[in-house]
Amino acid sequence: MNILFVTTYPLEYNTSANIRNIALIEGLLKLGHVVSTYSLYPEDARFFDEMLSIGIKYRYWINKQDNIKDISTVQLSRWKIYIKKKLYY
C-alpha cells in the first residue's frame, strides 16, 4: 500500500511526537508498505538531530517562506469560517 505520512514538523527534529512517528513509519516499512512523508523543510538547527532521520524513498517539503502571504484579518476570518463549514457539515 502507498502511504503519505503528513507531519507538522520534519522527522529530524527531536521531539516525542516525532519519535513515535518514526517508529510507526519504520513499522509500516517493515510490513512492506511504501511510505512517503510531507512536512516542513528542516531549517532550524537547534532541534535538528540527524540520528532521527530514516531511509524514506520519497520525501516532500513545504517551504514556509514561500507560503507566507499578506492576508487581512477579514480574509483570514472568512477562510476560518469556510474551513469550519467544510469540516463540520
**Residue 53 in contact with residue 18, Cβ under 8 Å?**
no
Q: In sequence order, what are the residues at sequence separation of 6 or more whose Cβ sits closer than 8 angstroms to the Cβ of residue 62?
A: 38, 39, 40, 41
pTM above 0.95, yes or no: no
Residue 48 is given by DSSP the state B
Domain assignments of the chain as residue spans, ordered by start: 2-88
Between CA 60 and CA 4 the distance in angstroms is: 10
Percentage of the chain lying above the pLDDT 70 cut? 56
For residue 16, the model assigns a pLDDT of: 86
Q: Which of 30, 39, 44 is nearest to 58 (CA)?
A: 39
